[in-house]
Amino acid sequence: MSTIDRSGTFTLGDRTVKRLGYGAMQLAGPGVFGPPKDHDAALAVLREAVASGVNHIDTSDFYGPHVTNQLIREALHPYPEDLVIVTKVGARRGADGSWFPAFSSQELTQAVHDNLRNLGVDVLDVVNLRSMFSVHGPAEGSIEAPLSVLAELQRKGLIRHIGLSNVTLAQVEEGRRISNIVCVQNQYNVAHRSDDRLIDELARNGIAYVPFFPLGGFSPLQSSILSDVAQRLGATQMQVALAWLLRRAPNVLLIPGTSSVAHLRENFAAAELDLPKDAVVALDGIAAHAPAH
């Protein structure tokens, strides 16, 4: 059994994936814009991920833009039969790297075709609609119009499955009335736990939950509890954060990102990290002390 196999599996659409996957965002340049500083290293990370047993890769054509999808194609095409590539639409990039909502029918359709072309596939495994009502996190607003565009592209055979990203519980409920939603991707970690209720609701319905920023992303967690637990277990803070997420619920799928093969291997070792009960209790308490967002 490989290290990643120890993370377990969950159903994503009509496929079974290992719960420890890989997120490609960090393969683009600084600010998720432009090419990587080391092209060959980026290819090596992708190939190492798949060689290690990863069969769930998260990406988007607005990473770069186009950069991560083109790297994935160069490194891995033709793709292994069991590999599920999940992408997302709903944003576009300015010439200076800024982020803009891209929710019109034309923009969403163009984004799907861009993903198809840059990944080198005839159909996208999963497309997440990323809500952009607020750049700071999920914000209420109807997603019916953009989601209906994706549902139509699904009917045309360009998309197998649809997911949602950066959404509220109300938006998930609205989305499920329009389409079969197979996953939800939001920010969630040991300190940022506003989606606790949503995760449990999705678990009851067999829907995957894919947390991003397991260590806080652009503003990393500063937690003495996390660092103390990591030190006691002889592990990295990232390994502890990932192990805690794997324990949180069976429908949680992880997509830690890195541009380093060494860090990649470190992250994957989280699947073998056994958190003692007192460590879990301590980690569970971090959210109570975290500053409100």
**Could you give the CA distance from residue 83 to residue 5 in angstroms, rounded to a whole number?**
14
- Residue where the block lists tokens 């609609």: 129
Q: Give the CA angle between residues 95, 98, 100 to the nearest 5°.
A: 105
Q: How far is CA 208 from CA 30, 154, 171, 173, 201, in A?
A: 29, 19, 16, 15, 10
Catalytic status, residue 188: no
Q: Do residues 290 and 25 make contact, with C-beta atoms less than 8 angstroms apart?
A: no
Residues 6+ apart with CB under 8 A from 156: none
Count Cβ atoms below 10 Å from residue 28 Cβ, excluding itself: 25
- In one-letter notation, the amino acid at residue 104 is S
Rounded (10°) CA dihedral 140, 289, 271, 27: 60
Q: Which of 22, 63, 188, 209 is catalytic?
A: 63
Strands (E) located in the chain: 9-12, 15-18, 22-23, 56-58, 84-89, 91-93, 99-101, 124-130, 159-165, 181-187, 208-212
Residues annotated as catalytic are 63
